[in-house]
Amino acid sequence: MTDQAWHPAEANAIDAASDAKNHAGTDANRAWRRGLHRFDRALVGLVEWGAAALLAVEIVVLLAGVISRYVFHAPLVWSDELTGILFMWLAMLGAVLALRRGEHMRMTAVVGRLAPRARAFVDTFAIGVSIALLALLLQPAYEFAAGEIPIQTPALEISNAWHAMALPVGAALMLIVGVIRLAQVGRPRDVLALLALAAVIGCMAVYAAPWLQTLGKLNLVIFFVGGVALGIFAGVPIGFSFALATFGYLSLTTFTPMEVMVGRMDEGMSHLVLLAVPLFVFLGLLIEMTGMARAMIGFLASLVGHLHGGLSYVLIGAMYLVSGISGSKVADMAAIAPVLFPEMKQRGANEGDLVALLATTGAQSETIPPSIVLITIGSVTGLSISALFTAGMLPGALLALILCVVVWWRYRNEDLSGAQRYKRREIARMALIAAPALALPFVIRAAVVEGVATATEVSTIGIAYTMVVGLLVYRRFDWRRLGRMLVDAATLSGAILFIIGCATAMAWALTQSGFSQDLAQWMGAVPGGSYGFLAISIVVFTLLGSVLEGIPAIVLFGPLLFPIARMAGVNEIHYAIVVILSMGLGLFSPPFGVGYYSACAISKVNPDAGIRPIVGYMSALFVGLVLIAAIPWISTGFL
């Protein structure tokens, strides 16, 4: 073998060829990314247009239904069916937009403390888990929709597949958006590592299935405690964590067809009362755009702005007043937060404290009529709904007072040197300006009480009222912002409704496991008489509320536990109030409470920010709950 000479000319030629190859590769990579970006923009633009149009049609149809029924005494019998079908599509398209924008609620307290390289991998892992769930759900969702084809809706007489197809189409769109996002933000080595990890976990799951089926109810701990906690603390969106744990439990430990799980998700997202969520979110944006929010805040600030924590008192009182109007606690928060939060932040309030207080007031006002949870508990247990309505007022007022004490303590050292104290004449002038805006909650509540509109329809009356007041009274109405506001409302609602749908599926899986019957039997054997039973009920329903929400938990456990409460000597009305407040405590408490993440989504605040401040508020609420449980007169004194 002979050595070859290395000439500079040859070296330059090789370098030039290498540079040309690298340049060509770079150009190809850039062209691919530009093409991906254009496709992404076109797809998202189409979804945004569809979501905005659906929400606008929902508003028009519901308002037309109110006018037709109340004014012309000719109800539109098809309106509920049409809005139900459109609502499912709106929820799924909103969930697609939420995934594209990264607005699905997730816990990043642990992920945020990792080193940059480790955090990048965990973020890639979170996107990958979401993609994996969507890929697993795609076929069952299609089969579920195909099974609905022969079923016809009674009023419109069309196939129910028009409703059910929203699930596979929405899942497919989310899958595409998730893959695009992974391609845009994931590093190649992280993606390869994720694919290898997915293959290993998939093989382990398949081989472990026979063994898991022998573990019985221990699987509930593995999937619904360990699996959900792992997903949440790894930064996987909350809804996806719930759904993946449910899918894993049902597919590996039972013989349940996965179309059943999709059906439970559909059921959770299809409650027509939840349509109030996007409508109230849009109403909140409309109130801000028309200047009504500024007028209201200005007047309320003139009354209590010079007090320590003044606007926090307004938030507590506002949630007490509007609670129950829509039948959805999420919708109640959506009606309040967009109005108050911008001004409170401008005045220096900490956003973590704001979202913590909002979530706590959601739990505090669970028993304020006409609460849908009160109606549900009355219907499944046979209790008087009017008695429940009467019993719920004073406990809610007591908890509001306790929260006001906490607010005073937290803000007692607040610097008020710049706070302005208004004269009576100025307050009166601001009250006159704010009167049309302040009348809105009373208009909404009167429409429900007088039977003008249902809890779902009433938000459209608020929207119509706000548009008229904005155009004729405040004369501030930017038509160009309506499209973006409709898209924002649909996106936020999609993130919230997807969590609710996944939580409903998880609740159903827990029920099918026999967990509810075992729990009722165990609680009935607790010593200590009525107080022992109340104490264990508070603990159990707080835990249940964090994963099941109020209505599913009531439907599952109400018929089982209320007879036991009666035998233990507990007044059933009193027990109902204690149970509802306990579930509210769990529902709005992190890290598992769905209501807490809904409050964060509505407030557009990172969930991590509210973790520390909510401890004090929830502790105070727990003290109030113990007082209500220990003193039955607070619930039954006015019956």
CA–CA gap between residue 40 and residue 47 (Å, rounded): 11
CA distance 291 to 6: 78
Of the candidates 67, 133, 119, the one whose C-alpha atom is nearest the C-alpha of residue 506 is 133
Write down the pLDDT at residue 310: 76
Higher-pLDDT residue of 291 and 19 is 291
Exposure b/e, 499-538, CB count within 10 A at least 16 = b: bbbbbbbbbbbbbebebbeebbeebbebeeebeebbebbb
**Model confidence at 7: pLDDT above 60:** no
Give the pLDDT confidence score for residue 235 in this predicted structure.
85
104 has pLDDT over 70: yes
CA distance 614 to 620: 10
In whole angstroms, give the CA distance from residue 334 to residue 563.
36
Place 1 in a pLDDT band, splitting at 50, 70 and 90. Answer: very low
What mean pLDDT comes out for the span 388-415?
Answer: 86
Does 371 or 627 have the greater pLDDT score? 627
Q: Which of 49-53, 534-538, 606-610 has the highest mean pLDDT?
A: 49-53
CB 166 within 8 A of CB 91: yes
* Confidence grade of residue 529 (pLDDT, cut at 50, 70, 90): confident
What confidence category does residue 5 fall into, taking pLDDT thresholds of 50, 70 and 90?
Answer: very low
| pLDDT surpassing 60 at residue 351 | yes
Q: What is the pLDDT of residue 548?
A: 61
Q: What is the dihedral angle through the alpha carbons of 604, 610, 611, 617, rounded to the nearest 10 degrees?
A: -140
Q: Does residue 94 carry a pLDDT above 90?
A: yes
Please tell me the pTM assigned to this model.
0.77
- Residue-level pLDDT at 2: 41
For residue 80, name the pLDDT band (cuts at 50, 70, 90).
Answer: confident
Domain boundaries, the chain: 39-214+258-270
Range with the largest mean pLDDT of 20-29, 59-68, 165-174: 165-174
> Any idea which of 53-57, 429-433, 444-448, 515-519 has the lowest mean pLDDT?
515-519
- Per-residue pLDDT, averaged over 461-479, amounts to 89
Return the higher-pLDDT residue of 416 and 172.
172
Question: Between these two residues, 588 and 11, which has the higher pLDDT value?
Answer: 588
In this predicted structure, the answer to whether residue 338 has a pLDDT above a threshold of 50 is yes
Q: Among the listed ranges 16-30, 61-75, 242-256, 507-521, which one has the minimum average pLDDT value? A: 16-30
The pLDDT assigned to 317 comes to: 79
- Give 152's strand partners: 159
